[in-house]
Every structure is written in structure tokens, then in C-alpha cells.
Amino acid sequence: MTAPQTTAFEGPHWTPTLLAELEEGRSNGRVGSRIVSESDRVRVWLIELQPGERLPFHTHVQDYFWTATTPGRARSRYSDGRVAEVTYELGDTRHFHFEAGESMTHDLENIGDGVLCFTTVEFFGSANPPLL
């Protein structure tokens, strides 16, 4: 997984429309394309993005992890202005932990040539109440 990035809402990746969507995304808890399982302990999301498709800005407040179920390339814009382009390999996995009041808002855009898929698992009982 490689991640070159830019900072501070610079460059062609920040349009007025995306900045407005970012503000709306601060309360959007839809962290995947669709929920495939939910219990009192976890919520499991699938993300499936065709080339050029993007998952809108959303906010993570629960501890979670994602696993790439296909290889590919993606661009994410973050609420602090960073833009990261990442190459994913099949099986890449990353875990996140949020203390009370912490969150992460970003989008996800498939900039590769094939379908890009992830499984994301949110853990209920984290320090923050879920948004969705």
C-alpha cells in the first residue's frame, strides 16, 4: 500500500461542490456501499466501486477495520484537506481506533481500471455512539 498525498484543500481535487459535500458528510455514517450484516456488536459493510465511481464523504466514529477484497487504486479526500492516492493489494487491512469525540471524515474514489472492493467492519461499544 503506497500513499502519496497533498495538503490544505489545494489542487484540482477540491471543487466547491466537493467542499459542500464534505460539510454534509460530517454527519453521514454510511461508511460503505451497503450493510450486509449487523448484530449488537458489529456492523459489516461492503464497498464496491466501479472505475471512476466514488463513495461520498462519510464520517467514521466507531472503531473499525477494512480489508481490500480486490487490488486497485483509490483517491481519498480528508476533512483536514489532505488528498491521498493509494494502491491496494488483495488482503491489505487497516485498523482504526477512535477515542471519545474523535472521528475521521473522507470520501473514496476508484481511480483504477477495475472494480475496487472492501469489507469494512465497525465495532459497536466504541467510545462514540454510531452515526447511522
Q: How far apart are CA 120 and CA 94, in angstroms?
A: 10
Give the pLDDT confidence of 113-126 residue by residue, as tens digits: 999 999 999 999 99
pTM above threshold 0.85: yes
CA-CA distances (angstroms) from residue 107 to 2, 21, 38, 83, 100?
17, 10, 23, 10, 22
Sites in the chain below the pLDDT cut of 70: 1-8, 10
Q: What is the pLDDT of residue 68?
A: 98
Pick the CATH number of 5-123 from 1.10.10.10, 3.40.50.10300, 3.40.50.620, 2.60.120.10: 2.60.120.10
Residue identified by cell 456492523 is 43
Q: How far apart are CA 2 and CA 78, in angstroms?
A: 17
